[in-house]
Amino acid sequence: MAGLAGKRRLIQRGYNYVAEETQHPAAIHASAAWERVYNTFCLRQIFEYTFENWQPDLRWWISPHSQKVQDPYRRIILYDQIEEAEADFAQHRICSRRALQQAAVLILTLGLTEIWQDRADGSVISLPSGPYVNEGGDMSRYEFKVSRYGENLENLERIHTIMMRHNPDCKLLVTISPVNLWATFRKDLDVISASCNSKATLRAVADEFTLRHENVVYFPAFEMATIYQPLSGQTYFTDGRENYHVNKNTVKFIMRHFFKFYSGMK
């Protein structure tokens, strides 16, 4: 769950990076085919479906025109048939369990607080995107929410409880993603203000979560990118792209200090 850039550099430096489902396109960013995860709700659901009997009321989206089967909870993962989707997800649960139980250190990157939640059962979809949404699929059962401090802290506590039950020796390393929102569904704030609120909320959550547990540490990747780099006269944005992609120099700077701080966490 460290992200693609972090994953590549950990492997390059010879760290024992746990890798399951290596042929699955949804595993490129992490140790299993979790796909990209943007909020603590989707993180929590990964741990619940991996180790418990997590079953949302609506498990699959069927795209109205193409009839593609889409997983609402793992970004844009598509199948041709329900049977194929069910079989792949069953295998994914096995691989996810294996990855999480092997981990000596688990990196949790917190991204944003904006979520789309099922009104019926409270489950949170990854993103309102993909063929189901583009082809006019019914989204009325989902509501947009800005999640708050208490909810996000509760999600991390739930993750911690599950991990300590199934892999009690594992350490958790928490970071905040320096990637800004590029758009917001909020009507009361502009995107910059919404992004600032999102990051500030998650930073406060990470602080409290870290203080509560001896086996949880915080790594300041967010501060290195968004505060230290500008103070040093450096930009952390990638040239020629929207102002939310982090450039290679900033990634190298962050990872260099990561290896300095945690060289013993192999």
pLDDT, tens digit, for every residue of 84-127? Answer: 999 999 999 999 999 999 999 999 999 999 999 999 999 999 99
Confirm whether 241 is domain-assigned.
Answer: yes
Confirm whether 266 is domain-assigned.
Answer: no
8 has a pLDDT exceeding 90: no
For residue 99, the SS3 value is helix
pLDDT, tens digit, for every residue of 37-64? Answer: 899 999 999 999 999 999 999 999 999 9
Residue 187 DSSP label:
S
Confirm whether 238 is domain-assigned.
Answer: yes
Give me the number of domains the chain comprises.
1
Residue 112 tokens, joined: 């944003």
> Which of 28-32, 50-54, 212-216, 239-243 has the least mean pLDDT?
239-243
The answer for residues whose C-beta is within 8 angstroms of residue 222's C-beta and 6 or more apart is 175, 176, 177, 178, 199, 203
For residue 114, the SS3 value is strand
For 75, the domain range is 4-261
Mean of the pLDDT values across residues 7-27?
77
Mean of the pLDDT values across residues 9-18?
68
Confirm whether 240 is domain-assigned.
Answer: yes
Confirm whether 139 is domain-assigned.
Answer: yes
Confirm whether 242 is domain-assigned.
Answer: yes
Confirm whether 150 is domain-assigned.
Answer: yes
266 has a pLDDT exceeding 50: no
**Phi and psi at residue 139, to the nearest 5°:** -110, 10
How much is the mean pLDDT over the chain? 92
